[in-house]
Each structure stands twice: as structure tokens, then as C-alpha cells.
């Protein structure tokens, strides 16, 4: 059976029709899929950077608070120096929210005394030679774009730093 020339061209004509019907569909699909994937990835990147920024700031704050406390010449001004060091470290990362600076014996939870103007004279850590104690900074932060009714303010990050007063330091 021989085919007519019209029968041979018929499949090609159908393919041409299909190509003309799908013209521009790949662009629409690419944009739709791109937005569908890009928005969650962008939010994930922003959230992770916010978490990392808070972790870095709290770690830096507790380390600087411990150093500022230990290098104080007067034990009465040491808590204020530590509090100021925490504020500077948080300001360095453009974080303006509150943070708690606490101290206590090594290995206990961070629920010791909070350094603040009303409590600082009650039981400050000793500045005697060889003294060891632990500083803790705790900060609550909020993820971007999450409504407050979803308990977004319950994200808490905590950092600890063990302070060792120099053995050769003169006793206050």
C-alpha cells in the first residue's frame, strides 16, 4: 500500500500545531516554578541569617561581659561594666531588644542573679585571685514575617562563658 503525499505530511502538520499551541508556556511555567521555589528559599535564608545574627551577638556579648567584669579595677563597678559590654556587643549586630546577663557557679543553669542596677550589689562574683564563675546571656528574639499570635516571641538563645580571674591578680 502506497501512501499519498498528503498522508505523509499529516503528522508534521499536527506537530506544528502543537508547537504553536505551546508557544510561551515554558516561560510561564519557569516563572511560576521559580516563584514557588524562590519565595520559601528566600524566607529560609532570611530566617537562618536572623538566627545566626542572634547567636553570634549573644556569644560575643557573654564573652565581652566576662572580660569586662574580670578586668575591672573596682568590684563595685564590675557589674555595670559587664552590662555595658553586653549592650555594646548587641548594638554591634544592630539588636536593640533586651538581654539578660546572669552569673553563677560553673555548671549550674543560667538562673542565677541577674546583673542590674538593683541587684548588682547583692551577690556579685568574687574578683579574688583564681576565682572561677560562669556568665550567661539570654536573649529572646523574633523570626521575621511570623505573626505574634503564633508564639514567635518564644525563640530564646543562650550563651555561656566561664571566667577565670588571673591567679596573679592582687586581691581587691
**pLDDT at residue 122, rounded to an integer:** 57
Compute the mean pLDDT over every residue in the chain, rounded to the nearest whole number. 80
> Is residue 57 very low, low, confident or very high in pLDDT (cuts 50, 70, 90)?
very high
Neighbours of 144 (CB within 10 A): 11
Residue 120 is placed in which grid cell?
548588682
Strands 132-141 and 113-114: unpaired
* Cα–Cα nearest to 156, from 140, 132, 133: 140
Paired residues of 85 in beta bridges = none
Residues 6+ apart with CB under 8 A from 10: none
**pLDDT at residue 16, rounded to an integer:** 57
With a threshold of 0.85, does the pTM exceed it?
no
Determine the Cα–Cα distance for residues 3 and 7; give it in Å rounded to an integer: 6
Distances 110 to 87, 88, 97, 138, 139 between C-alpha atoms, Å:
18, 21, 19, 8, 12
Instruction: Encode burial over 96-126: b for 16+ CB neighbours within 10 A, e otherwise.
Output: eeebbbbbbeeeeebebbbbeeeebeeebbe
Amino acid at each position: 500500500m502506497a501512501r499519498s503525499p498528503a498522508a505523509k505530511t499529516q503528522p508534521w502538520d499536527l506537530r506544528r500545531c502543537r508547537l504553536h499551541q505551546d508557544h510561551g508556556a515554558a516561560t510561564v511555567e519557569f516563572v511560576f516554578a521559580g516563584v514557588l521555589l524562590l519565595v520559601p528559599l528566600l524566607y529560609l535564608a532570611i530566617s537562618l541569617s536572623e538566627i545566626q545574627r542572634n547567636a553570634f551577638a549573644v556569644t560575643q556579648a557573654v564573652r565581652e561581659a566576662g572580660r569586662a567584669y574580670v578586668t575591672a579595677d573596682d568590684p563595685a563597678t564590675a557589674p555595670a561594666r559587664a552590662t555595658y559590654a553586653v549592650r555594646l556587643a548587641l548594638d554591634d549586630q544592630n539588636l536593640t531588644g533586651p538581654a539578660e546577663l546572669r552569673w553563677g557557679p560553673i555548671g549550674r543553669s543560667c538562673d542565677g542573679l541577674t546583673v542590674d542596677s538593683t541587684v548588682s550589689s547583692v551577690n556579685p562574683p568574687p574578683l579574688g585571685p583564681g576565682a572561677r564563675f560562669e556568665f550567661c546571656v539570654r536573649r529572646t528574639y523574633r523570626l521575621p514575617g511570623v505573626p505574634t499570635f503564633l508564639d514567635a516571641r518564644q525563640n530564646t538563645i543562650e550563651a555561656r562563658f566561664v571566667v577565670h580571674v588571673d591567679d596573679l591578680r592582687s586581691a581587691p
